[in-house]
């Protein structure tokens, strides 16, 4: 462990982690805030849209999905090489270290869910969309499954945008906000916080997967995903709920 510190690895992994994280989340915001509205603005011009999907989205998705892997791996490496990481939480202790551990646990659970969404939902479905665009450009008939695949990917992508605000708050906040003497917690408060955050996160996730009321635009429960504006409002609402909860449970 001393070797890791001497060669700056604990810092080095943090640096690479943040570098990969900004690449991933930067592209997530590009997709949500720029690409989806821009591609919709092509309207009936299918050829231009398919060209943009084939030439722009394909490249952006490559960086996006590999940056997600790199972020996840470097994040887990920080945990792996830091001596006694999460020790306060795991030992059911109390004090400000528990607030740190509970905060990073929520940040990591949201981050890992987001990485799973990237590979298991977004990329899985975007492959269908990309193949369809290339096929149509080559003069072949369109794949009727492409629209539904695009919808599934969009729902998960907006859910990732919704998670991202709280994820980053708790991730950065673990060491730079919750780690002061203003905050403290015992094991039961930390566990309560974690359970509530995970239940809210899980409900949002299964809703975004269409497992509650389906994926149709008529499903009112999908309001958070119907525009990037709704996703931004939902993201800050989720953050506000979790931040207030942390104030109630952890503030001295």
Q: Where do contacts with ligand HEM occur on this chain (CB under 6 A)?
A: 14, 17-18, 21-22, 24-25, 71-72, 75-76, 78-79, 104, 108, 111-112, 115, 168, 171-172, 174-176
Instruction: Check if the beta carbon of residue 68 is closer than 8 Å to that of residue 118.
Output: yes
Nearer of residues 42 and 66 to ligand HEM, judged by Cβ = 66
3-state secondary structure of 85: coil
Closest to 26 (Cα-Cα) out of 75, 63, 59, 76: 63
Q: Shortest gap between Cβ of 109 and ligand HEM (angstroms)?
A: 9
Q: What is the 3-state composition of the chain as percent helix, strand, coil, each rounded to the nearest 5?
A: 80, 0, 20
Map tokens 């592209």 to a residue: 27
Nearer of residues 222 and 242 to ligand HEM, judged by Cβ = 242
Q: Shortest gap between Cβ of 78 and ligand HEM (angstroms)?
A: 4
Nearer of residues 79 and 182 to ligand HEM, judged by Cβ = 79
Question: CA dihedral defined by 103, 106, 108, 112, rounded to 10 degrees?
Answer: -170
d(CA 116, CA 122): 9
Map tokens 């503030």 to a residue: 251
Nearer of residues 52 and 172 to ligand HEM, judged by Cβ = 172
Q: Shortest gap between Cβ of 33 and ligand HEM (angstroms)?
A: 16
Nearer of residues 50 and 96 to ligand HEM, judged by Cβ = 96
Closest to 172 (Cα-Cα) out of 75, 91, 81: 75
- Residues 6 or more apart from 103 whose CB is under 8 A from it? 170, 171, 173, 174, 177, 178, 246
Nearer of residues 70 and 243 to ligand HEM, judged by Cβ = 70
Nearer of residues 39 and 89 to ligand HEM, judged by Cβ = 89
d(CA 158, CA 74): 24
d(CA 48, CA 46): 6
Residue 100 to residues 12, 63, 177, 188, Cα–Cα distance (Å): 21, 31, 8, 15
Q: Shortest gap between Cβ of 213 and ligand HEM (angstroms)?
A: 28
Q: Shortest gap between Cβ of 200 and ligand HEM (angstroms)?
A: 18
Q: Shortest gap between Cβ of 13 and ligand HEM (angstroms)?
A: 9
Q: Shortest gap between Cβ of 122 and ligand HEM (angstroms)?
A: 14
């Amino acid at each position: 462990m001393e070797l890791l510190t001497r060669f700056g690895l604990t810092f080095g992994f943090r640096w690479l982690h943040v570098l990969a994280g900004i690449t991933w989340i930067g592209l997530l915001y590009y997709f949500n805030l720029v690409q989806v509205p821009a591609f919709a603005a092509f309207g009936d011009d299918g050829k231009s849209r398919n060209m943009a999907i084939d030439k722009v989205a394909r490249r952006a998705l490559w960086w996006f999905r590999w940056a997600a892997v790199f972020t996840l791996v470097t994040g887990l490496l920080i945990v792996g090489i830091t001596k006694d990481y999460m020790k306060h939480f795991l030992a059911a202790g109390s004090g400000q270290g528990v607030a740190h551990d509970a905060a990073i646990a929520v940040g990591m659970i949201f981050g890992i869910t987001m990485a799973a969404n990237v590979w298991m939902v977004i990329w899985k479905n975007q492959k269908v969309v990309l193949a369809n665009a290339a096929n149509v450009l080559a003069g072949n008939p369109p794949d009727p499954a492409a629209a539904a695949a695009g919808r599934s990917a969009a729902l998960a992508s907006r859910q990732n945008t919704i998670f991202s605000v709280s994820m980053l708050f708790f991730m950065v906040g673990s060491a730079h906000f919750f780690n002061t003497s203003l905050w403290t917690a015992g094991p039961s408060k930390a566990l309560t916080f974690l359970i509530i955050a995970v239940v809210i996160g899980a409900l949002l996730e299964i809703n975004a997967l269409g497992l509650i009321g389906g994926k149709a635009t008529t499903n009112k429960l999908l309001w958070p995903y119907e525009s990037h504006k709704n996703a931004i409002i939902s993201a800050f609402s989720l953050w506000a709920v979790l931040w207030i909860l942390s104030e109630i449970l952890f503030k001295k």
